[in-house]
């Protein structure tokens, strides 16, 4: 969302109490929406838009539950008879549903609806800045720091719950699906399309089980399947090994994973006055892998350190202040507690990097380790509601093999079984960033054609070759930053 649209939404939320509300009720959910005519600008083109404050029940199953506000934007297509609208569900948890820009081509033939995520957007935010600050501590993945994070998480959520009189367990994936249904009813759509990315696919899957007759088409891009919020190091290392054949000739026979493990093992505690923090280096390298050229930069930095040049790893260490988990960690923790948390796991030890794992699973170790150390207990949603079986409707799954946060294996060998007529496309040697930069015109045409007409069979993903030779090394980027 560009700056104009963010300001318009903020303005609406300030003045909405003075607007005439449009009431609608359906099933167990009662809601009110105040609607204002405005514009939404995409790539310089103005579209008519409704900026709404949707009032929903904190507990959709309880009519006496308190009411919370959720912002909603409907962007109106310019065609006279648009098809079934597209509901966008972006990645998360802990992220706003409004953070990613809305592609122009989605609104060419259909209205587009973006619903704020409860716990992040709207009247209730589970943001705990004090928890984010804990992640800025040195050796932030140490057991001592994770114990501190657990205490901070528990104290912060209890304080939020008491001050705002919240029922924390209601800020879960299933109730986000109820919010979709509330918006569908409010706008009086008979059926909807869903375009969901990452964690958004979790919400879409729950919604498909809740309201199967309202889904027209559903496209799930890089879905986070069952269990991958607590992302086991095995999945990450398996993905990193896709780079081995390209890495070995550059690393004196070492594969991508072994290159990192050996470099970390031999890294001195300090060099030229810089004290290294391995936790920060690992997390920054993990985040850097999202970039198109991230793997090349990471591999070169670790390989250079084995030759005595530590500037690349020093740069990763320093960049942690930019890469650290600055999103809504309170919301992330609550969504994890109510879905993927397993009290039988030892997240601190099982998710660590070391002699058998290049990165471990740094984000999952910090969040799930903090949950475990907090001793908090929220009701875990049953699999039958989060992952309903025999879900019908036209569904297309887009998978990539180099996304460290949404591994393809649990989707290919698990999640696809939940859909009766699912189709899927695997984009080989793509990560999340590549998917939206490499041949984006063809990819946008694929999405548009599927959501408009259900056609995708003609599309053959083009192979994206791996290249581990960076145009500029992290050492060079570091020098440019200083200059």
Q: Are the beta carbons of 389 and 418 closer than 8 angstroms?
A: yes
Rg (CA), the chain: 23
Query: Rounded to an integer, what distance in angstroms lies between the CA atom of residue 360 and that of residue 364?
Result: 9
Q: Which residues of 209-230 are buried (b: 16+ CB within 10 A; e: fewer)?
A: bbbeebbbbbbbbbbbbbebbb
> What residues does 88 pair with on adjacent strands?
114, 195
pLDDT at 412: 87
pLDDT at 4: 41
pLDDT at 16: 40
What structural domains and CATH numbers belong to the chain? 3-125+172-226+384-453 (3.40.50.1820), 233-325+466-482 (no CATH)
Query: Rounded to an integer, what distance in angstroms lies between the CA atom of residue 404 and that of residue 348?
Result: 19
State pLDDT tens for residues 53-63: 899 999 999 98
User: Please, where are the H alpha helices in 165-293?
Assistant: 173-187, 200-210, 233-240, 244-247, 256-266, 278-288
Q: Are the beta carbons of 31 and 54 closer than 8 angstroms?
A: yes
Terminal C-alpha separation, the chain: 33
Neighbours of 422 (CB within 10 A): 18
> What parts of the chain have a pLDDT lower than 70?
1-37, 101-103, 390, 483
pLDDT at 148: 98
Query: Rounded to an integer, what distance in angstroms lies between the CA atom of residue 301 and that of residue 295?
Result: 10
């Amino acid at each position: 969302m560009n700056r104009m649209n963010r300001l318009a939404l903020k303005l609406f939320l300030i003045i909405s109490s003075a607007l005439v509300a449009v009431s609608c009720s359906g099933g167990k959910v009662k809601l009110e929406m105040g609607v204002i005519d405005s514009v939404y600008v995409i790539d310089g083109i103005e579209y008519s838009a409704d900026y709404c404050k949707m009032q929903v029940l904190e507990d959709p199953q309880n009519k006496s539950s308190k009411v919370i506000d959720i912002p909603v934007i409907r962007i109106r297509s310019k065609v006279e008879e648009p098809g079934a609208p597209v509901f966008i569900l972006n990645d998360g948890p802990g992220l706003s549903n409004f953070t990613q820009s809305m592609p122009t081509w989605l609104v060419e033939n259909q209205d587009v609806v973006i619903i704020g995520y409860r716990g992040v957007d709207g009247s209730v935010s589970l943001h705990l800045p004090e928890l984010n600050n804990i992640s800025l501590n040195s050796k932030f993945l140490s057991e001592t720091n994770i114990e501190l994070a657990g205490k901070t998480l528990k104290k912060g959520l209890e304080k939020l719950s008491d001050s705002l009189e919240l029922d924390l367990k209601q800020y879960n994936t299933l109730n986000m699906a109820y919010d979709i249904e509330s918006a569908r009813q409010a706008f009086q759509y008979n059926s909807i399309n869903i375009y969901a990315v990452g964690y958004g696919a979790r919400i879409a899957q729950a919604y498909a089980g809740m309201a199967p007759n309202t889904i027209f088409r559903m496209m799930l891009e890089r879905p986070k399947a069952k269990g991958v919020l607590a992302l086991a190091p095995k999945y990450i290392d398996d993905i990193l090994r896709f780079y081995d054949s390209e890495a070995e000739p550059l690393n004196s026979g070492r594969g991508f994973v072994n290159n990192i493990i050996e470099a970390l093992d031999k890294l001195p505690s300090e060099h030229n006055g810089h004290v290294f923090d391995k936790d920060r280096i690992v997390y920054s390298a993990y985040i850097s892998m999202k970039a198109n050229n991230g793997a090349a930069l990471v591999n070169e930095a670790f390989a250079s350190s084995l030759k005595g040049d530590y500037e690349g790893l020093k740069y990763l260490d320093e960049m942690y202040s930019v890469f650290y988990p600055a999103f809504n960690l309170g919301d992330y923790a609550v969504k994890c507690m109510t879905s993927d948390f397993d009290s039988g796991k030892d997240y601190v030890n099982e998710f660590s990097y070391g002699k058998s794992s290049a990165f471990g699973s740094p984000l999952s170790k910090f969040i799930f380790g903090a949950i475990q150390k907090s001793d908090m207990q929220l009701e875990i949603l049953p699999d039958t509601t989060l992952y309903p079986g025999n879900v019908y409707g036209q569904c297309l799954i887009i998978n990539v093999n180099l996304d460290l946060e949404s591994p393809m294996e649990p989707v290919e060998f698990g999640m696809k079984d939940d859909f009766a007529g699912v189709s899927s496309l695997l984009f080989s040697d793509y990560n999340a960033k590549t998917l939206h930069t490499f041949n984006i015109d063809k990819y946008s045409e694929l999405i548009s054609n599927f959501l408009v007409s259900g056609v995708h069979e003609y599309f053959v993903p083009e192979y994206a070759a791996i290249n581990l030779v960076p145009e500029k090394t992290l050492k060079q980027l570091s020098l440019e930053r200083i200059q």
